[in-house]
Structures are given as C-alpha cells and as structure tokens.
Chains A and B, each alone.
Chain A
C-alpha cells in the first residue's frame, strides 16, 4: 500500500456507504515506525474485524483515531467530512466511541455517576442534579437493553457488567462509530453472547463497529468484513464469508523471516532440570505443566493475556499458586518469593525492565551485584566493593555491556545494555534457569541480534532458558521447543522448525472452539495431552 498525497485523497469522490475512512496514516515513535501508509474503511451498518499480531499497530491506530496520539501524515474522514480529533472527549463528541482493553471507570462511583462523569446535569452551574442523572441513565440503559441499576457502585460489578457500563457511557455521546479493543478478553461465553447482542442492537444503517480481536471464531460470528494489518502496514480486507481462518492467519504473520538464523544445538534428549506440574493460579492459570531441559531454549508463545508472564511469576513465587508444584532436578521445591527462587537457581527477567528489573538511579555495579550482595559480595554484613567492581567489569567484558564506566548510572544505558546488566545480575548469582520475559522489548534491531547470540551462548554453556515472547519470528529463531498458551492453558507444544501459522492456530484456540483445523505445516503439532503421556 502506498501513501497517497493528501491533495489527491481530498479529491477522491466520497463513497456514501463509507462511515469512517483512514488514509495514508503515519506514526513514528523513537526508533520505531509504528504505522506506515495505514488505511481503514468502515462501511455504514457493518462490524469490521481488525486483526494483527501483537505490536502490529492496532492500538496505535485506535489511539490516533481518538486523539490520544497525534498523527504525522494522513487523513481521517467521518461520513465524508474531514475529521480532526483532539483527545478522547473531543472524539466522543464527534461520534467516535472507543472501549479500551483496560476499563476506565471510577470504581467508587455509581453507574450513573460514571456515565455522566465530567458532564453531570447541573442546576445553577454548581449543584449536581442526581435524580435527573439517574433517570437519564435509566433511559439510556433501557434503550440499550442493559439489565443494570444506575445506582449500583461500579466496583461491585463483574468485569462484563463494567464493560457494559463503559459501552453505555460511550453510546451516551450518540456515537456513530464504536471501536472495541479486545472486548471479550475477560468475558465468559454467556457474557460474550450479551456483548454480541449489544453490538447487533447498536449497528444500524448509520453506525458501524470496529472490532479488534485475536479470536477468529468470534470474528467469524460478529464481523462482516475483516482487515488485516501487519508491522504497521495495511495488508488486506476480506469479506468474512469469503475468507478462512488459515488465510487470515497467514496474512497476519506472512512476513519473511531470516532463514539463516535458526535455533542452535537443538536436541530433545537432555535431562530435565525444571519441571512444572499442574500449576494453577486464582486469576488465570489452569493446569499448566511443562518440562525445561538443561541447555535448552524453551519458547513460550501466545497472545497478550494468554498467561505466559503469569507462569513465570508463579514459578518464581511473585504470585501465589492455588495448586501444582515445581520440581527442580527431580526434587519438588516450595518457592514463595524470588529470594527462594534465586536460592534454587532460578532468575526472572521481567518484560518491564524499568519497573521490575532496574534500579535506574543506581550505578551498573549495584544493578549487576544486587542479587549476590547477601552472598559472595559481603562478609559479616560488610560489602566487598572491590569484588563487586571486579565482577561487574568481568560481566561488562563478557556480555559486552557498553558503558563508559561500571559506576555509570544504569538509566543512561541503552535498552539492550540495560537488559545485559540484568542478565549479568543472574549470571553473577550463578543461576542455572533463566526466565526471560520479552527479552528484546524496547531494544533496537542491532542490539536484538546481540541478545539472541547471548542467549544461544548461555544455552550452549548449559544454562536453561525459558523465553517468553510475543514476536513469532523471535520465538522461531530462538526456541528448541515452543510451548503455546491461550487463556491460561497450554494449548500445545511445537518442535523447532514449526511455522508461524501453527503457533497462531494454537494461540487463538479457545477451549470451547471446534477442533483445530489441520495446520498447513511441515512440523506436526503435538497435542498437549499426548505429550504428557510420552
């Protein structure tokens, strides 16, 4: 798709069937081109599915449409009129309603108070009119067929009901376009039905819905057409009844991957070092079992919210587990916090380095030494600063951490070098099992390759690595085996050399879906149950 000059776009005759048009939209963030020549056509009276991998640019596009971000190029059209939005509120008043993945309600306020927040009916410019507010809310809820009481405190509602409040709020602005970002992520089947009913009631000849989702079976039911985007670019739009799930998936992932780079030293017969058995948590994980072999890179693939990070956090004791056990070298162990995990040689490197990994305002030395300060870097409670400096210097050379000095504050390092500092922390601590959560997030392309080589080297030296990643090329390039998760469960384990399509098929699988279609793949899928029996 090429970017059209704006003048040309303006001359394009308006198609009276089109409700919302996006043309030639561009957006960059430092180091990343988020959107490039993005387009989107929403027709009147339709539900348009919007799909793409994590990071394909769906959320960026939505944030541009609602004015949260400012676009650099391109134009928006609503009903044939050029559309300019300045912030969420402005978008709402112009008829664009967006339901974000995270709900934006005030839990202590009632349904009515939330819906009219910031534009309460007032008398004399000062006093609110609670009764008018409630009666207007009741009318709104009735017109939408929502079984909600305006006086209920939002915090006491289920997530599904809260979402309905959010939708009611959006529609109270007399919305023409409703944009929903993964609306069913937290809903059960009955609630999904309710949501679909609401969407169908909303869609008239004058309105339309953009429905962002990963869940193919749902899209098949609710969407009329489906638009696929990838790497910030528009790929294709298809009528839902004329396309198939494999076609959509192949368009979602269909980029060339570096064919030279393959996982190294793949073997499947090494001793098991870490074994997770029937792990469940209160919130999400359901009966998760897998083995990690010595010297292997075990990839964890899945969509956002599939529960991969939760598995890592449960293993290292950061989140409590309700059942299941962790077995290290054949011995069941109890891990209640990261301190105990470290004692058992397990180190966790969070996806959110700034929040869960780094002490930004402290030097590299501290960030590298932290996990070992109570051990080899102290005697009788006193710090051995020389040993810390020496070990950090060693790590700096070994991992090629680029910093003018080990005394440098870690916040001045680049993302890749910060990541290396955290890797060094666990190597200095002599951890054998390293759990990487999105090891290359926020790291530029060159440094990514360096991290990959580092992980390969660590695996070759006998470290066992769990690598959680949302980037399929990364998973395929690195993993000796690939565990795929969906909705808190492991839906399958794939060998090295699996295809992106096979992974996506497992990642979009819901427990209650029809059986998976045979994937178009060289590598056979090993269903999880059979694998466990082997």
Chain B
C-alpha cells in the first residue's frame, strides 16, 4: 500500500525469516527420495513374502532390472521435460521410430553397427529438437506439440518400415543384440542392458545436478518468466532440453530393438505414459521446478517390480495396470499431502 506518514501507526514487520528451514528443506528432499525408496522396499518385501521361492532370487532380480531398462531410459529423458513444467507424449512412438531408424541404418543401409546406433540415438534427439522448436519458438503448448509428434513419429515408423518388422541378422549384427542381452561381465548373468540403464542414469544425474542445463531446467520450471527476465535465453534452453529428452528416447529405441532382435514399427503407444508414471512416482512434480533422477529410477523400478511380482504370483495381466494405476494415485497423493503440510506450516 502507501508509504507511511510520520505519526501513522507503524506497520508490524510482515515476515520473519524462519530459522532452520534450509536444513529442513534439505531433509525433506532426502525424505522424498526415501519415501519412494521405502515404497519400493515395501512392495519388494510384500512380493518376497508372497513368493519366497521365485521372487527374491538373483535371476529374478536381474529379470526385473532387465525389464525396467526401456521404461527407465525413457523416463530419464521425460524427467527433464517434466521439470520444465512440460510433458513429452511423443517419447513412446519416438522410441519406436528411432528403433526403426537403427534397423534402417544397420540392416537396410549396411552401416556399421556402432554408427547405426549413434545415428539412431541422434535421430531421437532430432525428434526432440522439433518438439523443442514447436514449444519454444512456435509457442505451442507442450501437450499439443508432443501429441502431434506422437502421431507423426508413430506414422513415420510404419511408413519407413513398410509396416513390417525389420530383423537384425543374428550373425552380422550380433554386436547389436549383445548391447541388450550380452554379458559384459562374464558369467554374471547380468545383461548389458542393465549396465546401459545405469550409465544413462548416471549421465542424467550428472546433467541434472551438476551442469548449467540442469540448473536452467529447474529454474525454468520454477518460474519461466523470471528466468527469462534474469537474462537466460529460455527458448534456446527449452529446445536443448526437449532434444535431450528425445536423445534418451532414441537410446530407449535402440535398447528395445536390441532386446527384440528386430525393429517393431508398432507398439510404442503406452510407453510414454509408463515413463510419465515412473517420473511422477519418483516425486517429480508435473507442475515443474522440482524433480530427481534417483526418484525417477526408483519409480521405474517400482513399475517393473509390480509387473514382475504380479506375474509371479499369477495375477492376470489385465489386473496389472489396475494395480499400477492405484499405486500412482497413492504415491502422488502421499506426495501432495507432504507438500501441502509443508506449505501451510
């Protein structure tokens, strides 16, 4: 209101900086990850009790990790986009298209396997770049821009593959399938795909927490206008962030094709929602400004554990999605409760 004239009642100080909140907030953040981790442990324990012979064995755990790879890699990229307050609906079909491109480069064009892999991953990045331009420059809402890309990428995958799977040669391209199913650590039974996921997660973690990209990512999601007025080229960084997400879905596409030994031109739809679910379960806020890679990895693991565990205790396939849906609601509700409590006190 107005400035106060001499003699007018002196206003009481409005805010007092609350002491110890920095520590509290750091703890809260840790608690957040602990909560997701606690959920994972709880679910794991429950299945272990339900099926002590099969579920908690070494081979089944590697199985779970193996099955978490594709959604896991996808959700790493999705985390960056969701932290900006955006969404990437095209990562599922973008992944499929990248896989088809890998097969095209390697099988159809006969490029070396390593080059085909690199180009396919970069192609995923190109899809993300287009998303980024549509969001940042054309000003489309992320939902719309990536919904359109979901359709375009899904359609192009069919066009380029001629609606048929492209098979990798088991001899010539054995190094390609080894990327997923091979054992870098001999005799461990530990599939390479899991190592790829771990390496990708470490890279994502470093990018988010140690680089300017990660810092701008969080800043944009926290307050895009203020970030822009602080002299950050928000448009440029949004394009980079969407491109990064696309690169991860390119990698996911390569990993899926390597696991199947073929590039399937269909079946990408639904993956994007699993990826988003993993991110959300991991404590990243859909309204942006907050998120963690560790949480996302745990989220992807929770999904994999639930799917695997339900299969082992013979819950019919159709019930698995029902239960996953409930898990999403419960975890996000708990998260909301926690943030609501912390903002009101």
Contacts and interface: CB of A to CB of B under 8 A. Distances in A.
A36 B5 CA distance: 13
18 contacts: A30-B12, A32-B1, A32-B11, A36-B9, A55-B3, A57-B2, A231-B8, A232-B1, A232-B2, A256-B5, A357-B226, A359-B223, A359-B227, A378-B212, A381-B211, A383-B215, A407-B25, A409-B22
Contact of A55 (B1, B228, B233): B1
A338 B13 contact: no
A438 to B, nearest CB: 11
Q: How large is the interface on B (under 10, 10 to 19, 20 to 34, 35 or more residues)?
A: 35 or more
Contact of B5 (A231, A356, A383, A415): A231
A366 interface: yes
Interface string A19-36: 000000000011111101
A324 interface: no
A383 B211 contact: yes
Contact of A409 (B10, B21, B230): B21
A158 interface: no
Given A32-B11, A382-B212, A383-B211, 13 more contacts: A34-B1, A53-B2, A56-B2, A341-B231, A350-B226, A359-B219, A371-B231, A373-B212, A383-B214, A402-B17, A404-B21, A413-B15, A429-B231
A382 B5 contact: no
A31 B13 contact: yes
Contacts of B218: 359, 362, 366
B14 to A, nearest CB: 4
B21 A366 contact: no
Interface in A398-438: 402-405, 407-409, 412-415, 417, 425, 429
B230 A54 contact: no
A25 B218 CA distance: 46
Nearest to B7: A256
Interface in B225-249: 225-233
A444 B17 contact: no
B312 to A, nearest CB: 41
Contacts, number: 165
A80 B100 CA distance: 82
Contact of B229 (A318, A373, A408, A413): A318
A366 B219 CA distance: 8
Given A232-B1, A342-B231, A371-B232, A33 B11 contact: yes
A316 B231 CA distance: 9
Interface string A355-391: 1111111110010001101100010011100000000
B134 to A, nearest CB: 19
A445 interface: yes
Interface in B15-51: 15-23, 25-26
A404 B26 CA distance: 14
B232 A339 contact: yes
Nearest to B3: A471
Q: How large is the interface on A (under 10, 10 to 19, 20 to 34, 35 or more residues)?
A: 35 or more
A90 to B, nearest CB: 26
Interface string A78-118: 00000000000000000000000000000000000000000
Given A256-B5, A348-B229, A383-B211, A361 B11 contact: no
Interface of A: 29-34, 36, 53-57, 60, 230-232, 255-256, 258, 316, 318, 337-339, 341-343, 347-348, 350, 355-363, 366, 370-371, 373-374, 378, 381-383, 402-405, 407-409, 412-415, 417, 425, 429, 440, 442, 444-446, 448, 471, 473-474
Contacts of A54: 2
Interface majority SS on B: helix, strand, loop or mixed?
A: loop
A359 B5 CA distance: 33
A359 B289 contact: yes
B225 to A, nearest CB: 5
Nearest to A407: B22
B16 A31 contact: no
Contacts of B289: 359, 361-362
B136 to A, nearest CB: 12
A374 B212 contact: yes
Contacts of A444: 11-14
B222 interface: yes
B119 interface: no
B226 to A, nearest CB: 5
A414 B15 contact: yes
Contacts of A53: 2
Contacts of B26: 407
A408 B21 CA distance: 6
Contacts of A337: 228, 233
Contacts of B195: none
Contact of A415 (B14, B19, B212, B226): B14
A468 B297 CA distance: 48
B17 A445 contact: no
Contact of B212 (A32, A383, A448): A383
Contacts of A381: 211-213
Contact of A363 (B8, B12, B22, B232): B22
A417 B13 CA distance: 12
Contacts of B233: 337, 339
A355 B231 contact: no
A153 B18 CA distance: 51
Contacts of B9: 33, 36
B343 to A, nearest CB: 9
Given A57-B1, A370-B232, A381-B211, A412 B17 contact: yes
